Copies of this chain bind each other. A is one copy, B any other.
Amino acid sequence: MLLCEEQCKGGFMWKLTFWIVAVAVLMCTKADSVAATEPGVRVLIAYYSVTGNTEKMALGVANGAKSVPSTIVVVKRVAEVTAEDLLSSDAVVVGTPVYWSNMSGEVKSFFDNWQLKFGVFPEFKMRDKVGAAFATGGQVSSGKEIAMLSILAAMLGNQMIVVSGGGALGASATTEGDSPGIDAKELETGRLLGKRVAEVAWIMRKGK
């Protein structure tokens, strides 16, 4: 009986220990396994494409983002993006063909709609979301950088967290000349950008 008591007491002790540790571990692992209890990080890839080149890059970016576990990737044309798509995302990557050294009018109007249709300001509803850019253009050094940089500038004005990847400013492809369309190297810059964006989005999620 004494033994029993001991055993009971010991058993209680063990159970108590178990539960304390279990709760502690659970609390503790929150940060690392947030995906198990919360939905994964959402990456929205919004693009405009006429020839299909920018769309192909968008899919490359999507593959990169998906390579990061528990990442939910949504790929949409800019005209189809809803307020819900935009505001529920943890990261937004915007891709555009280059028209006259800038994003296309459709992509610019998409950004304008962040306010006109989705009303992100003055609450800065996009604040702390990760942002990045990709661009396709016919010639080398003929606007892809400015297109990407102006996308990033729009995101900075929204107090987003801006990253590059795949290239110094984002992912890009030269679609005319020696290697027409999107070649494997260019697609790889897209994949690298998507992976980078998802990784930083996870860091931001865990850190907040």
A35 contacts the other chain (CB 8 A): no
Q: How far is the CB of A169 from chain B (nearest CB, A)?
A: 6
Is A144 a contact partner of B143 (Cβ separation < 8 A)? no
A180: CB under 8 A from chain B? no
Contacts of A153 in B (CB 8 A): 100-102, 143, 146, 149, 168-169
Shortest Cβ distance from A50 into chain B, in angstroms?
10
Residues 165-207 of A, flagged 1 when their CB comes within 8 A of B and 0 if not, give 1011100101000100000000000000000100010111111
A198 CB to nearest B CB, Å: 13
A77 to chain B minimum Cβ distance, whole angstroms, is: 15
Query: Is A83 on the interface with B (CB-CB < 8 A)?
Result: no
Residues from chain B with Cβ under 8 Å of A16 in the complex: 17
Given that A17-B17, A102-B111, A200-B161 are contacting pairs, would A156 and B169 also be in contact in the complex, using a CB cutoff of 8 Å? yes
Please provide the chain A residues from 99 to 116 with a CB less than 8 Å away from any CB of chain B in the complex.
99-106, 108-112, 114-115
Assess A172 versus B207: contact at CB under 8 Å? Given A21-B21, A99-B112, A163-B161: no
Instruction: List chain B residues, Cβ under 8 A from A100.
Output: 111-112, 114-115, 153-154, 157-158
